[in-house]
Amino acid sequence: MKTCKANASGFTLIELMVTLAIAAILMMVAVPSFTTFQRNAQLTSLSNTLLSSINAARGEAMKRGRYAMVVPADNANWSSGWIVFVDMDRSQNYNAAKDAILLTQEAPPSYLTITPTDGGSTAETPPYIMFDASGYAKTKAGAAGLNTLEISRNDVSGTDQLAQTRRLKIAFTGRVLICTPQSTSDANCAQTGL
């Protein structure tokens, strides 16, 4: 009588356990990296949205030959969202009935905050960013305006706090850029040359 050996197919219990152990180790490494990636993406998205809103105001000011402004939606806190408009009545204040609204932005999630970090027009009462017909940043008094807004996460602490912070800087010339501060004392993002 001839015996046939059946070809065994499949995995042994040891092979499955080794595979699961390797998968668990990879997940422990990947999850913190994914969380950091997700947080950075949310912060970058909000920063770029604010940057494009400010650039839209500047572009419309030059196109229409009038002041264009960005103001907080609640007229007090940048974290409430913002309104971009052309100052059609030349009042240097938002008037929904008279001004041409370019766009409105809803408030960001509560874990993201936007705060002014200097004494510029972004910190005045009410706060604003204004561009003249030449695209220069101006104050309501007519002086050149230099402003900085800090966009940060309030759900992180320690060394992550600095990495999860962006500064949006508006130069006198109207040039706007976003930078990541290198230290807590790096108020001007010196590496950017603005």
pLDDT for residue 181: 84
Per-residue CA distances from 19 to 13, 22, 26, 28, 149 (Å): 10, 5, 11, 14, 49
Inter-CA distances, 103 with 60, 71, 88, 173, Å: 12, 11, 15, 23
**Which two tokens mark 105?**
């932005």
In the prediction, which pLDDT does 37 show?
Answer: 86
Q: What value does the mean pLDDT take over residues 114-143?
A: 89
In tens, the pLDDT along 74-109 reads 999 999 999 999 999 999 999 989 999 999 999 999
> What's the token pair of residue 108?
């960001």
pTM for the whole thing?
Answer: 0.80
In this structure, of 27-36, 92-101, 108-117, the range with the lowest mean pLDDT score is: 27-36
6 or 43, higher pLDDT: 43
**Domains of the chain (ranges plus CATH)?**
15-192 (3.55.40.10)
Alpha-carbon gap, residue 101 to 104, rounded angstroms = 8
CA–CA separation, 82 vs 108, rounded Å? 10
Give just the sign of the alpha carbon dihedral 179, 184, 188, 192: negative
**Residue corresponding to tokens 């007519």:** 142
Note the pLDDT tens digit of each residue in 133-191. 999 999 888 888 778 899 999 888 877 788 889 999 999 899 999 988 887 676 666 55
Task: Tokens for 119, please give them.
Answer: 């004494």
